[in-house]
Every structure is written in C-alpha cells, then in structure tokens.
Amino acid sequence: MADGFNILITGGAGYLGSVLVPALLDAGHRVTVLDNFMFRQNSLAAVCHHPGFDVVSGDARVEDTVKPLVRDADVIIPLAALVGAPLCDKDPVGAATTNRDGQLMLLGLLGRDQRVLMPVTNSGYGIGEQDKFCTEETPLRPVSLYGRHKVEVEAAALDRDNTISFRLATVFGMAPRMRIDLLVNDFVYRAVTDRAVVLFESQFKRNYIHIRDVAGAFLHGLGNFETMKGGPYNVGLSDANLSKWELCERIQAHLPSFVFLDAPIGEDPDKRDYIVSNAKIEGTGFRPVHSLDDGIAELIKGYRMIRNSVYGNV
C-alpha cells in the first residue's frame, strides 16, 4: 500500500468509476472520489470498508471543493461529466460547465508533476471516410456538443505533457452504477425485454469496448506512464468495428427470438459513423480481455435482474 499512488477521481461513483475505483484499490492505490451523486447511486458501497478509500459528496465545478482534494493527489482521473450526446443536448449549460469549464478549472489547479489520466471519447472523429481507419492522427471533427467539449478539454490536457488521454470506444458491460442508454447495453436490454428494436441509419459504424477493459487501460497507463504520457490513445476492440445492423446480428446469435428492422424514416441523433484503429495502445502491450460476445452474455444475465429505466443518463 505504501508504494501506491494517491488518486483523485472526480465523478468516481458513475458507470466507469464504479468499476475503476475497486480495481485501483485492489492494485494497492489510495483513492478519493468526488461525486455529486446526481443519480442517487450507492455504487461504491462495496468499497467503503477499504482503508485506502475516501469519498466526498460535492460538485466538481466548485473550485473551493476541488482545490484541497487536488493538493494531495499524485494522479487525477477526471470522470465528472454529463456523458453522452442526448444528455448534453438536454442540458447544454450543465454540459458546458461540467464537461468543459469544470475540467479546464481542474487542469489549471494542477502542478507540473501531477499526472492526469483523461477519459475522452472517440466520437471526436465524427463521420469517418469509407473503409478508412481513424488513428490518433486523424483530424477531429466532432458532430455533437459532447464530442466538441471533450476535444477541447483533451487539447488543454495534452498541452501539459504529463497527461495520457484515452479516446474511448462505446463502452458496454454491467457495472454497479449501470447505464442502459449506451448502444450495446441498450440493444441487449431491448432484445431481452421487448425482443425487438427499430434501427435508424443501421449502416452507421462505430467501435466498442468492455467497461472492465477500460479500467484495465487506465491501470495500464498508470503502470506505463513515462513511456505513454503526452499523447492520445484509442481504446477499443479491434475486432468490433461494427454497424448497428451487425451488432444486432451478434445479439441475435445469443437471443434467436430477437427481431430488428430498418426504419424507413427518421434519423439517429448521434451521427457518428467511423471505424477505429487501436494499434497505438496495442503497441504498448495493452490487450482487451473481454469480447463483445462476453459482454452480450453478461448483459443478458444482468437484465434478468434489472427492469427499471433509472439505469440510464437520459
């Protein structure tokens, strides 16, 4: 324990934090979480017994709240955000103050030696070119308010050099603070509960990653910080650059009664359409261990327990 880092995670009681915090504690680090518990979640209840864990109920946008917590941190992981295009479009002021202004304020409080592991989204690639992989050098053309804020904050974070940025694919899998609104999670939920889904723009492609592999990527970055710092890394499953139609076919292999069809009218509010290369982070030795099929099987089990619309962001 004495050799571990002091880690501050803002928004650490959310979907990703509820998986990442226990993983960091198990690895011997000390973790303080700042969260406003806006979803009334108790997602970190199982780690309250841990002597290396502390939690503060507060707002990551308030400098007087954040400043004393930053002072003792070796590593900062800023997860506090209104996550996803629909939630940000519903509350653009909250999105701007949390996803951009609060993050930039936090970065401004940091000393040169403090390390940042910054989660962003590969939705910054927007609409890609046909059959051409997006790499970390691909120009960023976000098509949503959420994506634009993440791109702006990533640029500021990488300017300070002592940062690793993870451009996350669409995350899936069960977590103590569940989100049913994420694409794989949502489609499997519909397959289990409704046995049907109507697809808008079903040919649009994106990349996917299991939530436990996202936590694994953060641990990998922490362990290889000196060689990885200063740049962005795509984090996704290299065998899962799939269209929405192809994703439904994968789900149907697990649930044969699942029916899906193309809507003749309408459009997807989240316009992203691209395929992603994860070769850069794989070149550092990182490999995801949870497949898309693993996640689908896991979600099917989870949805035998969950029948409630509160497990989402919108």
Question: How confident is residue 313, by pLDDT bands cut at 50, 70 and 90?
Answer: low
Question: In 10 A of CB 150, how many CB atoms?
Answer: 29
In a domain, 127, yes or no: yes
Confidence of residue 300 (pLDDT cuts 50, 70, 90): very high
pLDDT of 1 reads 40
Is residue 155 one of the residues assigned to a domain? yes
> What is the domain-level CATH number for residue 127?
3.40.50.720
Average pLDDT over residues 174-188: 96
For 95-104, which contacts have Cβ atoms below 8 Å and span 24 or more sequence positions? 95/145, 95/146, 95/149, 96/149, 97/61, 98/60, 98/61, 99/146, 99/149, 99/150, 99/153, 100/149, 100/152, 100/153, 101/61, 102/10, 102/60, 102/61, 103/78, 103/153, 103/156, 103/157, 104/153, 104/156
Note the pTM of the prediction, 2 decimals: 0.95
Decide if pLDDT at 101 tops 90. yes
Report the alpha-carbon distance of residue 249 to residue 244 in Å, rounded.
Answer: 9
Token pair for 263: 């809507």
**Statement: residue 179 has pLDDT above 80:** yes
Determine, yes or no, domain membership for 107: yes
Q: Which amino acid is at 269?
A: P
- In tens, the pLDDT along 3-12 reads 899 999 999 9
Q: Is 266's pLDDT higher than 80?
A: no
Interval 144-167 mean pLDDT: 95
> What is the per-residue pLDDT for 96?
95
Domain count, the chain: 1
Residue 93, Cβ density class (10 Å: 0-12 exposed, 13-18 middle, ≥19 buried): exposed
| Whether the predicted pLDDT of 214 surpasses 60 | yes
- 73 within a domain of the structure (yes/no): yes
Does residue 19 fall inside a structural domain?
Answer: yes
Q: Which of 63, 153, 31, 174 is nearest to 104 (CA)?
A: 153
Evaluate whether 228 touches 192 at the Cβ level (below 8 Å): no
Cα 59 to Cα 35, 94, 138, 221: the distances in Å are 6, 12, 34, 26
Tell me, yes or no, whether 307 lies in a domain. no
Sequence letter at residue 133: F
pLDDT band of 128, cuts 50, 70, 90 = confident
Distances (CA, A) of 249 to 170, 185, 202, 261, 288: 18, 15, 12, 11, 22
Instruction: Give strand ranges (E) for the chain.
Output: 6-10, 30-35, 53-57, 75-78, 115-121, 133-134, 163-168, 170-172, 196-199, 205-210, 231-235, 241-243, 259-262, 275-276
- The C-alpha atoms of residue 312 and residue 186 are separated, in whole angstroms, by 9
Where is mean pLDDT largest: 60-69, 79-88, 270-279?
Answer: 60-69
- Which domain does 80 fall in, by range? 6-171+208-236
Is 85 in a helix, a strand, or coil? Answer: helix
Average pLDDT along the chain? 94
pLDDT range class, residue 310, cuts 50, 70, 90: low
Of 133, 8, 150, nearest in space to 71 by CA = 8
**Residue 68 domain-assigned?**
yes
Q: Is 203 part of any domain? A: no
Average pLDDT (276-301) is 98
